[in-house]
Amino acid sequence: MANYKKPIPEPDPHSKPFWEGAKAGKLMLPRCADCNRVHWYPRLICPHCHSTNIEWFQGSGMGTIHTFAVQHRAFGGWADEVPFVTAYIDLNEGDRMFTVLRGVDPNKPESIKIGAPVRVEFEAASEDVSIAFWRAV
Amino acid sequence: MPGALSRAAAIVGAAEAKEIGYPETPKTAIQLHIEAIKAVSEQTGIPISRINGVFGAGWSSQIAEYLGLHPAYIDTTSVGGCSFEMHVHHALAAIHAGIIDVALVTHGENGWSQRATGGRGTGRARGMDPWDPGSLYTNPYGVSGAPSNYSHAMTRHNHRFGSTPEDFAHISVVTRQWATLNPRAVMHSKETHPFGGPITVEDVQNSRLVSWPLTLLHICLVTDYGGAILITSPEIAKSVKTKPVWIAGAGESMSHSNMLEMDDFTATSAAASSAAAYRMAGMGPEDMEMAMVYDSFTITAGITVEMLGLAPRGEGFTLWKDGHAAPGGRLPINTNGGGLSFNHSGMYGMQLLVEAYRQLSGTAEDGVNGLKGKQTSARSCVVNGTGGSLSTTGTLVLVSD
Ligand SMILES: [Zn+2]
């Protein structure tokens, strides 16, 4: 954990449930209590109906690949890991997250399929912050 | 029928800084601004003191102060490379409303020189708010700069429409043909750059992989640039020594700021911004005789011409692949050599405007900024800037008399 050399996010006051969930290995997501739609990233207002009645719930941690790329140039701690695959993930509950995708071969991008199922996992980057990553299943 | 703002103002001049591209001596952003502003004032005969509206991407008050101006209209819209097309839209409205009658839109950016100056002289604050959603939810995942984001759009376009990176490589090849006609283009020839001059699809595909599926030659340059245009009321436009290029239509829109919120990775808000511009102009894509479209990446240009209605969905790249966009083609596109091969300072919207003005005013082949074969016969041009991560767009329909 002390060896985590890549950027560690600094959680803001509005997304505490997500980061607390991440430390416990749970994918916590924000949902509008009025229109029932999930949104990502977390907000103080629902981007669909503009209700401020937002609740948090535990998501399934499952999704599919929306699109991806293979990074051959990176900076800081990520420079040591090139090539690696980045992807946008369609959550089963709706909306989309960004991730470094695990369990795929960056040297064979043609073997990675848009629409393929993925599962979330968490890596402890520090005492306080765990980061969500997605893995092909 | 054209809207009320159509042709309510004209671009009457467009000029650049003395040295652009990769200057031997490092430049500052303010120097690039000032050289271009001085040049456009001399070109049009409009004194700098006559400017009463100042439009710049985040920096207009500093520019006005530096020039000793006290403008009646100050616009700092800074939403990426399309900001300058939006400035033209806003200047058109301000002139139509009678608030101002001489608007300066200016750009200076030392994208190249800041490597030598250690990031100084950019006129920009550095760094990002750690609590910004982009910092929290995308930065932990190793993306760094535009190429690492735009590649995701190419993958999705290929998946959805069956297009290939090779299809998009034709955009680089044809755009380079235009650059060989522009002596100021970084990639004009072997004299301007060791890798300048004509290229093939194989060259593009065999260049270094940066962010699969994007190789280096699918990606724009990083250069210095200074550019400025003057926009005036019709009365002033008719009295100056340069030719007016009329703003027939203008529109702007956005789909997202961070790519995390991009709904359709194969579409941009240029569909909406161009619809507004065409509606104002009372014209449509079939009336456009050339196009200047932002080509930060081949995928940017390919998607954009689809959004502008110049090609069917999924087939934008065919305009280049089939040679229509090339010198002598039926729809010349990016006649300056583009962000891919001419110049791209970080924000490229001003470069689009300067070349569109030159083409429509018949000055695109002056021996300095263009050789024989660069001037087209076009009298209408659709200009589309794209900013951020395929986020924001500004579209203009420009016409000459
Ligand atoms: Zn709602």
The two counts, helices (H) then strands (E), for chain A are 1, 7
Pick the CATH number of B10-118+221-400 from 1.10.1060.10, 3.40.47.10, 3.20.20.150, 3.40.50.11720: 3.40.47.10
Q: Name the residue among A15, A69, A75 with its Cβ closest to that of B212.
A: A69
Is the minimum CB–CB distance between B260 and chain A shorter than 8 Å? yes
Please name the residue of chain A whose CA is at the shortest distance from the CA of residue B261: A96
Specify whether the CB–CB gap between B238 and B244 falls below 8 A.
Answer: yes
Q: What is the pLDDT of residue A11?
A: 95
Residue A59 belongs to what domain range?
Answer: 16-136
- The rounded radius of gyration (Å) of the Cα atoms in chain A is 16
CA distance B156 to chain A (A): 6
Any domain includes A2: no
Give the integer Cα–Cα distance in Å for B46 and A124.
62
Give the integer Cα–Cα distance in Å for B48 and B102.
10
For the residues A26-47, what does the mean pLDDT come to? Answer: 97
Specify whether the CB–CB gap between B69 and B34 falls below 8 A.
Answer: no
Number of folded domains that form chain A: 1
Asked if A114 and B209 come within 8 Å (Cβ–Cβ), the reply is no
Q: What is the pLDDT of residue A1?
A: 63
Q: Report the separation in Å between the CA atom of B143 and the middle of ligand 1, taken as the mean of its atom positions.
A: 30
Q: Name the residue among B131, B138, B148 with its Cβ closest to that of A69.
A: B148
Q: What is the pLDDT of residue B134?
A: 85
Q: What is the pLDDT of residue B93?
A: 98
- Of the residues A82, A85, A86, the best mutation for testing chain B's interface (the one with the most B CB atoms within 10 Å of its CB) is A86
Please name the residue of chain A whose CA is at the shortest distance from the CA of residue B150: A69
Q: Name the residue among A15, A40, A86 with its Cβ closest to that of B141.
A: A86
Is the minimum CB–CB distance between B256 and chain A shorter than 8 Å? no
Chain B positions in Cβ-Cβ contact with residue A74 (cut-off 8 Å): 142, 144, 148
**Cα dist from B80 to A55, B49, B154, whole Å:** 34, 28, 20
**Cα dist from A102 to A45, A99, A107, B346, whole Å:** 32, 9, 13, 32
Q: Name the residue among A9, A73, A114 with its Cβ closest to that of B136.
A: A9
Please name the residue of chain B whose CA is at the shortest distance from the CA of residue A68: B152
What one-character DSSP code corresponds to residue A77?
Answer: G
Strands (DSSP E) found in chain A: 28-32, 54-58, 62-71, 84-91, 96-102, 117-124, 130-136
Any domain includes A102: yes
CB pairs under 8 A between A and B: 101
Take residue A120 and report the two structure tokens written for it. Answer: 């979330």
Is the pLDDT score of A115 beyond 70? yes
**Cα dist from B277 to A134, B84, B251, B285, B296, whole Å:** 42, 15, 5, 10, 22
Give the integer Cα–Cα distance in Å for A95 and B245.
44
Contacts of A32 by beta carbon, 8 Å cutoff, 6+ apart:
A38, A39, A46, A48, A49, A51, A53, A54, A55
Asked if A15 and B141 come within 8 Å (Cβ–Cβ), the reply is no
Q: What is the pLDDT of residue B124?
A: 79
List residues bridging with A62 in a β-sheet: A119
Q: What is the pLDDT of residue B230?
A: 98
The residue type found at B28 is T
Q: Report the separation in Å between the CA atom of B17 and the middle of ligand 1, taken as the mean of its atom positions.
A: 50
Is the pLDDT score of A118 beyond 90? yes
CA distance B20 to chain A (A): 27
Q: Report the separation in Å between the CA atom of A91 and the middle of ligand 1, taken as the mean of its atom positions.
A: 17
Rounded to two decimals, the pTM is 0.97
The low-confidence residues of chain B, meaning pLDDT below 50, are none
Chain B positions in Cβ-Cβ contact with residue A72 (cut-off 8 Å): 208-212
Is the pLDDT score of A2 beyond 80? no
Residue A17: cis peptide before it, omega within 30 degrees of 0: no
**Torsion angle of the four alpha carbons B253, B21, B16, B197, in this order, in degrees rounded to the nearest 10:** -90
Q: What is the pLDDT of residue A137?
A: 95
Contacts of B134 by beta carbon, 8 Å cutoff, 6+ apart:
B128, B258, B260
Any domain includes A11: no
Contacts of B336 by beta carbon, 8 Å cutoff, 6+ apart:
B178, B179, B182, B185, B292, B342, B343, B351, B354, B355, B369
List residues in chain A touching B: CB distance below 8 A.
Answer: 6-12, 15, 40-41, 66-75, 78, 81, 83-84, 86-88, 96-100, 109, 114, 125, 131
> What are the structural domain ranges in chain B?
10-118+221-400
Ramachandran area for residue B96 (φ above 0: left; ψ -120 to 50: alpha; else beta): alpha
Asked if B139 and A40 come within 8 Å (Cβ–Cβ), the reply is no
Q: Report the separation in Å between the CA atom of B172 and the middle of ligand 1, taken as the mean of its atom positions.
A: 44
Give the integer Cα–Cα distance in Å for B108 and B19.
12
Q: Please tell me whether residue B183 adopts helix, strand or coil conformation.
A: coil
Give the integer Cα–Cα distance in Å for A69 and B296.
17
Q: What are A37-58's pLDDT values in tens digits?
A: 999 999 999 999 999 999 999 9
Q: Name the residue among A72, A75, A131 with its Cβ closest to that of B210.
A: A72
The percent of chain A in helix, strand and coil, each rounded to the nearest 5, is: 10, 35, 50
Q: What CATH number is given to the structural domain containing A91?
A: 2.40.50.840
Q: What is the pLDDT of residue B216?
A: 98
Chain A positions in Cβ-Cβ contact with residue B144 (cut-off 8 Å): 73-75, 78
Q: What is the pLDDT of residue B1?
A: 87
Burial class (CB in 10 A: 0-12, 13-18, 19+), B329: middle
Is the pLDDT score of A73 beyond 90? yes
